[in-house]
Amino acid sequence: MHKLDWYIGKTVLLNILVVAMIILGLDLVFAFIGELDDVEGNYGAGDALTYTLLTAPRRLYDMLPMAALVGCLIGLGTLASNSELTVMRAAGVSVTRIVAAVLKPLLVLMLAGVLLGEYAAPYSENLAQNRRAIVQGSDGAFQSRGLWHREGNDFLHINAVQPSGELVGVTRYRFGAERRLLESSFARRATVQSDHWLMQDVEATRFLDNGNSEVAVSDEARWDVLLSAELLRVVMLEPDVLSLSAIWQYQNYLAEQGLNNSQYWLAFWKKLLQPLATLALVFVAISFVFGPLRSVTLGQRIFTGVLVGFSFRILQDLLGPSSLVFGFSPLIAVLLPIGILLVMGSYLMKRAG
């Protein structure tokens, strides 16, 4: 029976990996074509290609649930089309045993996905974003891309954070108690010291009470701010790209500053529960093969898998922002689509009986 489990698991896992590579390849091609629109000046086609390839781990992590769904449908569907599942059932192999054989390699795949999302994807995405920003000349004037952040009465814009923790292109706006602009400044670079930041090539404009302003230029200036280099590397990325530990750290920082951290809670629950979402999608795929898709063509199975996967993703994308707008728990927004899949899969499995 161990050979049978290995055969079923290997068939499904190979199909999942093939589907993942095909989807990833297509996604990278389209992403590279889109990135070519930003090619200008120092940012050439080679830089666009490097940026696209560096985002591959993040893209692979995002598409793993869809790949698991479609790959499982193709793998089990192939066994069903060749009457191998029928022979297994006739030989006394239960549906539960077949499901367990599918889930064993899937657990390994989910573990690999967790490691990818926690370590490889955040690092490569941070490298990609900052490399592009630096090549595009982010140590010059204010750039449209980058990070906006607020700390107290200071509003900050940082063009890029290098992997070493050095900040590139720091613009600061300091406001008074009555929302009056007191000072604006720009520093080409900023490096972290033991208890503060050291800004370099600083140009500051102070707005005086009498309506006049004065400009001060200095080679170096001290900057006291609570943000650490680790936190800055976190906030330069979209919440969905961050590791669980980074999301947890930054949402606590936002709470201490009295800022809204709901978006980071949503990203936290989505990432934490992604293995469960993958499991639910595979469960639905198994129920389809033993139920309504038992005797259809490969194309119909792929179409059904893509339809279910996109429907799940769209529902997640609708409920997530809705939780931020209407104020209900982000956990509910993440769990509801997963619950719908589990209920649908359980119903179909019961009917296939």
Mean per-residue pLDDT, 263-273: 93
Asked if residue 80 has pLDDT above 80, the reply is yes
Which residue's structure tokens are 């930003």? 38
Q: Where are the alpha helices (H) located in 171-243, listed in sequence order? A: 229-235
Give the distance from CA 113 to its chain's centroid: 12
Neighbour-count burial of 19, counting CB atoms closer than 10 A to its CB (0-12 exposed, 13-18 middle, 19+ buried)? buried
Q: How many CA atoms lie within 13 A of 67 on its CB side?
A: 26
Distance CA 66, CA 33 (A): 23
Asked if the model's pLDDT at residue 138 lies above 70, the reply is: no
Residue 320 has pLDDT above 80, yes or no: yes
Question: Does 293 score more than 70 pLDDT?
Answer: no
Q: How much of the chain is in helix, strand and coil states, percent to nearest 5?
A: 65, 15, 20
> Which of 218, 235, 252 is where one domain is finished?
235
Q: What is the pLDDT of residue 148?
A: 81
Q: Is the pLDDT of residue 298 over 80?
A: no
Instruction: Specify the pLDDT at position 311.
Output: 92
Q: What is the mean pLDDT of the chain?
A: 86
Amino acid (one-letter) located at 99: V
**170 and 193 fall within a common domain:** yes
* Claim to verify: residue 121 and residue 155 sit in the same structural domain: no
**Do residue 223 and residue 272 come from a single domain?**
no
Section 58-75 average pLDDT: 93
Q: Assess whether pLDDT exceeds 70 at residue 348.
A: yes
Strands 147-151 and 181-192: unpaired
Burial 172-205 (b: 16+ CB within 10 A, else e): bebeeeeeeeebbbbbbbbebeeeebebbebebe
With bands split at pLDDT 50, 70 and 90, how would you rate the model's confidence at 2? confident
Same structural domain, 154 and 297: no
- Whether residue 103 lies inside any domain: the answer is yes
In this structure, the answer to whether residues 151 and 131 fall within a common structural domain is: no
Domain boundary among 215, 235, 255: 235
User: Is residue 267's pLDDT more than 90?
Assistant: yes
Residue 321 lies in a domain: yes
Same-domain status, 130 and 270: yes
One domain, residues 209 and 282? no
pLDDT band at 151 (very low <50, low <70, confident <90, very high): confident
pTM, two decimal places: 0.82
State the pLDDT confidence band at 153, using cuts at 50, 70 and 90.
confident
Among 188, 219, 235, identify where a domain stops: 235
Residues 142-147 have a mean pLDDT of 64
Is 248 a member of any domain? no
The number of folded domains in the chain is 2
Q: What are the pLDDT digits (tens) for 199-233?
A: 999 999 998 877 788 888 898 988 887 777 777 77
147 versus 115: the higher-pLDDT residue is 115
Same domain? For 129 and 20 the reply is yes
Are 8 and 29 found together in one domain?
yes
Q: For residue 140, which phi and psi values (nearest 5 degrees)?
A: -95, -140
Lowest mean pLDDT across 5-14, 31-40, 293-302 = 293-302
Q: Could you tell me if 154 and 123 lie in one domain? A: no
Q: How far is 318 from 325, CA to CA, in rounded Å? A: 11
Residue 139 has pLDDT above 80, yes or no: no
Domain holding 218, by residue range, is 147-235
Measured distance CA(59)–CA(32) in Å, rounded: 13
Spell out the residues 6+ positions from residue 150 whose beta carbon is closer than 8 angstroms to its own.
156, 257, 259
pLDDT over 70 (residue 141): no
Q: Is 142 contained in some domain?
A: no
Question: Does residue 212 lie within any of the structural domains?
Answer: yes
pLDDT score of 335: 95
Most confident stretch, 26-30, 84-88, 99-103:
26-30
Same domain membership, residue 59 and residue 170: no
Q: Are residues 17 and 91 in the same domain?
A: yes
In a domain, 57, yes or no: yes
Rounded Cα distance, 179 and 156, in Å: 15
In a domain, 256, yes or no: no
